[in-house]
A and B are shown apart, each in its own frame.
Chain A
């Protein structure tokens, strides 16, 4: 099915099941430990061995020699694979660095060997006996130092310009020109990257934690040099990904290589430090923002430049993206520059681009409002745009940012914010409020599904879509139930298997809308097939309460499958509505924070997000997504930083004791409001994404609240007490 004209009324609009806050179908399995993650597939693969990865201890250079003698003799060892013994390996389409290094080493903890043994403990003990002799070569590890060597990236738009930014900025009455930095971030999801590999002849099955089954299947095939048909990926449950599991990582490859060498299925999980230095991370940025406005607060010129680094062949963090679309202004420019850094591979993490970009932009907007003597909410409203500012004849499909801002301000009690910073005090605490706009583009991806009605009246949905903790199982079941006029408990959803139709996968907040749209398409086909079997006019048939009805005639849906299952398969593809209309999601974040006047410790008190993101398919799971994202935003604001050792070239704080993420005590009262919205341009579901919108702008709202509390502006994240303690007034 192709979606190329705006959606009209369809069965989803009944909202009997879709749009209801139903519980997650997978919830009971997860809380009882019966949802088996990749590394726990002991029933599917009973006698597997364990592989333990050896990572490079240098950041750049070459392996001179590897001594495996002691490791090979260690108890229980079955096989050891290195680049030398692995056979020819290619690099996956989505990988920047090779998953098995050697002799050349591209980054710290790049895998150089996998040791396979009977037990996990034996594999780990033997891995610690592998001796690798390296020759280091000098590398570049410092983004600030490499900034001036940064170049236009090979892929993507590196520069945009509209009007005359330089002249517009120069002529503006009120100006801001400021630099901001964001550090490298780790996805830090609970479940580590983990895989079990089993070969049957030349066919490989991988149980693996992966967000994008088809991409993964393709990259495993490319890397191993085998036909894609010979690879099966299975990923029914994923313990969080945040982009860290978009691509095949070393656990999957080394499980496959280990299993081939040991002639036994092999399980490999990456230990936490490897998740940080072996896999991907959100790259650090340096950003320059210039905004010029007239005295009455209209933006005349807006410019955003961003620098980030990656391994050779890698990509930039596209931090300027939202600045092209968020605010009005006739004169505009953006520039993206990429430096070569020999740190581990940078890549997508929750809301890539916007998350980092808004961390800077939304502080800058706060600074501008202050310079103008305007309320930051009003300043944003004044500079709203209903069209793409670069192409004024291209409207937004929906844009209710102003309503988000106004609703949020009202519900949060924004009028109680002190307009002068550092003037509100509560005992030993300085108290402040801050806010920011949220913006994240809406992406749609082709997505397919297969649906089957059986004679018991149950409908089974199969798609290689993944549920990374987001609620995919549930919203897909809701979609099928709504389409087929069945109660939710008559739907079975099977996900994450590459033998199922290819879906959108989970990423870029496209999964919810795109995968359910694919299920919609398949259900439309199934409805036709069922109506035909029942001798009813498919176009007139109404599917409701387990019956199919046309006029007076009403037949139980089960009758259609009396002689055998009815099966339909289809996918949803997209026309050019995304080109004709700018599709984005919007929100506003409000934060109250307090700062210990003596120590500078920052604690968030309460948070509110108001989101306009199309139809909300399940308000409960959507809310969970947004509060999780807000929590991550607090982390980005106040504590998360992968610290680079600029001499040795690696992230030093590579465990969860050193890389701090918020704990319960950090997360106070959170409120989420969804505006009642449908977007007929996005899909027949009229939905968009929320999982990434929720993090966009949060960190800036926190930083702005801290500024409002202390009067000290910190432009380098995370906002930690060491960056401003010297400027706090003496302790009373």
Chain B
């Protein structure tokens, strides 16, 4: 770990401007991802800005009838919130499917969105990795890629975004709110927030240097049956092989987003028009152009079958 300096920010705007002022600065929230990466030399910030003291840990109603989730709300608190459980059960389920109780107690809404990939080559500084060291190559391509992307990947990187929470937020059409170093704020639809790897896999989202996430807002509740189906080799404390976030309305229409298949939560709105035709049609549209590796081709089948299981479960829940 490289030595670093540390400060506690007092206001969101001050945090953002501090981040822009000090080269190599990073925010630290729960630290559950950042500290691990610093210890093994994957992240080497020169300066840490602690955002835990910012007043961003509340869940408030919005004027539009939705909820504003402060960036510092812990995953545990978010999952347990009565309004979330009642109106956005998908989000609660996705959160509870992730990590462990101890980790969720520390992990924050903002930090979860920005957690980095679990590609094992990214974690091993001996290996080529364009995400960690741009231009060094990608050891996962042709290597162990069971967990990796099947859609939206590139010749530079085939990593997936590991978050469960973000997949639910994508299905719920959440919006990310930020403050920039100059004090201005903006709202970024979650669909535009994470990026595909392309030639720049080290860039994972549209945040500008120093830009701080202050909140995530959820639109008015959409109702329906909300399911989060996470498929994994062991029963708990494992990242998804694939996950399916689904909302099915009484009329059979719905939404679906996938985790574990791409560099970002994967949703193709056009695929949702296929709901009446069933899982195969939905999966085919969702995964159009999929280019799995030899090691993860099973995910294509798995996605379709998990969608089918979710559709069946939604039907049952309605009946």
Contact = CB atoms under 8 A, between A and B. Distances in A.
Interface of A: 57, 75, 121, 124-125, 128, 273, 428, 596, 598-601, 603, 638-639, 643, 645, 647-648, 652-655, 657-658, 660, 662-666, 718, 720-722, 725-726, 728, 730-732
Contact of B237 (A125, A600, A652, A663): A663
A124 B231 contact: no
Interface in B222-266: 229, 231-239, 241
A663 B234 contact: yes
Contacts of B235: 603, 663, 665-666
Contacts, number: 103
B143 A645 contact: yes
Contact of A725 (B3, B143, B305): B305
A599 B309 contact: yes
Contacts of A721: 231, 233, 241, 298, 302
A599 B41 contact: no
A200 to B, nearest CB: 33
Nearest to B2: A125
A722 B241 CA distance: 10
Contact of B236 (A125, A648, A652, A665): A665
Interface residues of B, number: 39
Given A658-B120, A665-B234, A725-B302, 20 more contacts: A57-B126, A125-B1, A125-B2, A125-B3, A598-B312, A599-B306, A638-B233, A652-B124, A653-B144, A654-B120, A655-B123, A657-B118, A662-B234, A663-B236, A664-B236, A666-B236, A721-B241, A721-B302, A725-B298, A732-B312
Among all A-B residue pairs, the 3 with the closest Cβ atoms: A598-B309, A57-B126, A665-B235
Nearest to A719: B233
A639 B120 CA distance: 17
Interface in B297-319: 298, 301-302, 305-306, 308-309, 312-313
Main secondary structure of the interface of B (DSSP, over half): loop
A720 B120 CA distance: 19
B65 interface: no
A726 B279 contact: no
Nearest to B140: A652
- Count chain B CB atoms within 10 A of each CB in A121, A596, A601, A663 and give the residue with the most: A601
Interface in B180-235: 229, 231-235
A726 B309 CA distance: 15
A725 B301 contact: yes
Given A639-B233, A660-B238, A665-B235, A652 B143 contact: yes
B234 A731 contact: no
A220 to B, nearest CB: 29
A720 B233 contact: yes
14 contacts: A57-B126, A75-B3, A600-B305, A648-B143, A652-B121, A652-B124, A654-B120, A660-B233, A665-B234, A666-B234, A718-B233, A720-B233, A725-B302, A726-B298
B32 to A, nearest CB: 12
Interface string B113-124: 000001011011
Contacts of B305: 598-600, 725, 728, 731
B139 interface: yes
Contact of A599 (B144, B231, B239): B231
Contacts of A57: 126
B231 A601 contact: yes
B163 to A, nearest CB: 14
A601 B302 CA distance: 10
Contacts of B231: 599, 601, 721
A124 B3 CA distance: 11
Contacts of A643: 144, 146
B298 A722 contact: yes
Given A647-B142, A665-B236, A725-B301, A598 B1 contact: no
A669 to B, nearest CB: 14
B127 interface: yes
Contacts of B1: 121, 124-125, 128
A133 to B, nearest CB: 13
A643 B237 CA distance: 19
B39 interface: yes
A587 B146 CA distance: 36
Contact of B309 (A75, A428, A665, A666): A428
Given A648-B139, A652-B121, A657-B118, A722 B234 contact: no
Contacts of A730: 308
B124 A639 contact: no
Nearest to A643: B144
B308 A731 contact: yes
A131 B95 CA distance: 41
Given A652-B121, A725-B298, A639 B3 contact: no
A648 B127 CA distance: 9
Contacts of A663: 234-237
Nearest to B232: A601
Contacts of A720: 233
A638 B118 CA distance: 21
B302 A652 contact: no
Contacts of A638: 233-234
A645 B144 CA distance: 6
A653 B122 CA distance: 11
A645 B238 CA distance: 21
B120 A652 contact: yes
Contacts of B232: 601
Nearest to A604: B235
B166 to A, nearest CB: 18
A120 to B, nearest CB: 10
B226 to A, nearest CB: 18
Nearest to A108: B126
A345 to B, nearest CB: 19
Given A638-B234, A643-B144, A273 B308 contact: no
A660 B234 contact: yes
A429 to B, nearest CB: 11
A731 B309 contact: yes
Contacts of B298: 721-722, 725-726
Contacts of A728: 305
A598 B308 contact: yes
Contacts of A598: 305-306, 308-309, 312
A417 B241 CA distance: 31
A655 B126 CA distance: 15
A721 B299 CA distance: 10
A643 B41 CA distance: 23
A428 B232 CA distance: 16
Nearest to B238: A660
Nearest to A597: B309
Nearest to A667: B235
Contacts of B124: 273, 652, 654
A398 to B, nearest CB: 37
Contacts of B127: 648
Contacts of B301: 725-726
Nearest to B41: A128
A471 B118 CA distance: 38
A128 B42 CA distance: 11
A653 B118 CA distance: 10
Contacts of A645: 139, 143-144
Interface string B257-280: 000000000000000000000010
Contacts of B146: 643, 722
Nearest to B233: A639
Contacts of B143: 645, 647-648, 652
B121 A731 contact: no
A67 to B, nearest CB: 16
A657 B126 CA distance: 18
A63 to B, nearest CB: 14
Interface in B54-99: none
A665 B232 CA distance: 12
A662 B234 CA distance: 7
Contacts of B308: 598, 730-731
Contacts of B139: 645, 648
Contacts of B312: 598, 731-732
